[in-house]
Structure 1
Amino acid sequence: MIKKCLCFAILISNFIQAQESIQTDRPDQTETPAIVPKNMLQIETGFNYQKENNNVSSSNLPTILIKYGVNDILEIRLITGFDNQKNKNTIQSGFPSTLIGFKTKLAEEKGLLPKTSFIAHIGLPNVASTHFKTNTNAPQFRFTMQHTLTRKINIGYNLGAEWDGMLPNPTYLYTISSGFTISEKMGSYIELFGFAPENQKAHHSVDGGFTYLISNNFMLDLSSGVGITKNAPKYYLSLGFSFRI
């Protein structure tokens, strides 16, 4: 009888885990501390258009983030895509430097302690189209944290730094995002984020968007943002989808 109860409990546990909805790093700038479930492959992809200023714009189609759950505390990650950059009458297209990395869980949420994970990537200078190759490897890292305020509201925030592979100086970054559950299928967020290149003036932006669950393993998203300082990009628009298998 005890063995039957234990087997039943394990089956229920596995069923509940399988029913947990997909959690993604799209569409906001704030990465989630959630780890992809063990032995599952998750792909987050979409389209992004950004207007830097009156002369410069860029588009990314597709943007691709591939994640694989190694165990309960670790996922491995690969970021790639295809970029188009326009400067007045000049257009450059190609594959940007591929990023490989990982996310690892550091702490679960407990009282004032947020759910916390650490993400690290390194850009490979030779795994890119000619126009987008960098001089050296380009590392980046961030701590991603999340507080649950109510059943329908959470706060997420990131702190980190990244290097572009061309200059030795880092760019520091921050994000803070409020997520809201609208319904069982729909969510939304509003976010403030910024980048602070070393020895240069920081720039800040605000954005917001929506997500919609088609199923527990498939999600659509739509977002847009605007710069709130003069040196920030004027605006961006993004749409995409994520799924796991």
Structure 2
Amino acid sequence: MKKQITFSLLFFLFSFYLAVPVWAQSSTEELNSDRPDRVQGPTVVPTGTVQLETGLQYQKDKTDDLPTKEYLYPETLIRIGIVKWAELRLSADFKKENQTLRTSVLENRMVSEQGFNNVQVGTKLNLFQGQGALPEIGFQGNITLPWGNESFRPTHIAPEGALLFSNKITEKIDLQYNIGYGKQQSDDEYLGQLYYAVSTNLKLNDKLQGYGEFFAQKAKASSAENNVDIGLLVLLLPNLQFDVLAGVGVSEAAPDYFVGTGLTWRLPH
């Protein structure tokens, strides 16, 4: 695990090193990232642009006093601008999960799994720019491929889709919200799952943004996993952004807490 974390940190530093000398060549359009929050905005990256969004995340949950720890190092999304209103999306995570199991009244043992998770290909479409009280509207569709660790991957291709909305409240505040449905693996079953999220984003100045959000997912015949989190985004360069987040679960089925950090880097073109 130490080697994976070291590699991830070196990758972050390498991205920063590459971004510094070429920022002036990047697109003049404002950098817009889909991380670190769960809400996805309807905006797509500019045509011909490649944008890398990557980060680290740690999550802990405890059931019957037995902890499960989850590490994503890294979680990565590549967004490619195809036309003015559409982008191609490629994503994958490297995940490690440590789960403590009770083997007897007095003894526990830890089971560890690691490998690729959430290997996805998809697209985002910007359908309507918004006007007055009418929100900007987008659609995002992904398929999760049956690749990676057998414990994490779906048994076959898993489609999902979501409607994405954004309302500009003031020059510094906007409201974003999503609702979607997809097929996801839950334990040993393959279930339909509803997911929904809402976030408020505040532009503090030209280089600093904050957000607070609620997001949830509910599989068929299961309890909803409700979560809240907050985050901060810092624009280091016109084409490079740093972020940090922290959140907690607010329902029994949700994780106890999670934290993360990452970078968004728009490659010059």
TM over 0.5: yes
Q: Percent identity?
A: 28
- With normalisation by structure 2, the TM-score equals 0.81
Query: Deviation string for 1:119-157 (max 9, x for gaps)?
Result: 0110110x2134433211111111111000001000000
Pair 1:58-2:70 in alignment: yes
- With normalisation by structure 1, the TM-score equals 0.89
- For 1:186-225, what aligned pairs fall within 5 Å after superposition? 186-225=208-247
Return 161-170 or 81-90, whichever deviates more.
161-170
SS of the aligned residue for 2:27 comes to helix
Query: Are residues 132 and 205 of structure 1, via their aligned partners in 2, closer, same or farther at CA, if it must alter by over 3 Å?
Result: closer
1:110 to 131, 137, 159: 131
The CA deviation at 1:46 is: 0.5
Q: Give me the whole-angstrom Cα distance separating, in 2, the residues matched to 1:185 and 1:50.
A: 28
Q: Give me the whole-angstrom Cα distance separating, in 1, the residues matched to 2:208 and 2:184.
A: 35
Residue 182 of structure 2 aligns to which amino acid in structure 1? Answer: E
Q: Give me the whole-angstrom Cα distance separating, in 1, the residues matched to 2:122 and 2:253.
A: 30
Tell me which residue corresponds to 1:30. 39
Q: Give me the whole-angstrom Cα distance separating, in 2, the residues matched to 1:187 and 1:202.
A: 29
Uncovered stretches (5+) of structure 1, i.e. residues with no partner: 1-14
Tell me which residue corresponds to 2:50. 41
Q: Give me the whole-angstrom Cα distance separating, in 2, the residues matched to 1:203 and 1:26.
A: 20
Residue 171 of structure 2 aligns to which amino acid in structure 1? Answer: R
Return 94-103 or 65-74, whichever deviates more.
94-103
2:176 to 144, 147, 156: 156
Tell me which residue corresponds to 2:263. 241
Q: Give me the whole-angstrom Cα distance separating, in 2, the residues matched to 1:140 and 1:72.
A: 23
1:119 to 135, 140, 146: 140
Pair 1:86-2:68 in alignment: no
**How many correspondences in the alignment?**
229
Query: Deviation string for 1:173-207 (max 9, x for gaps)?
Result: 11000000111100000011111111222121110
Uncovered stretches (5+) of structure 2, i.e. residues with no partner: 1-23, 101-109
Q: Give me the whole-angstrom Cα distance separating, in 2, the residues matched to 1:129 and 1:155.
A: 36
Q: What's the RMSD between the two structures over aligned residues?
A: 1.6
Query: Deviation string for 1:28-61 (max 9, x for gaps)?
Result: 1101111010000000000000112242110100
Q: Give me the whole-angstrom Cα distance separating, in 2, the residues matched to 1:167 and 1:90.
A: 20
Residue 228 of structure 1 aligns to which amino acid in structure 2? Answer: V
SS of the aligned residue for 2:117 comes to coil
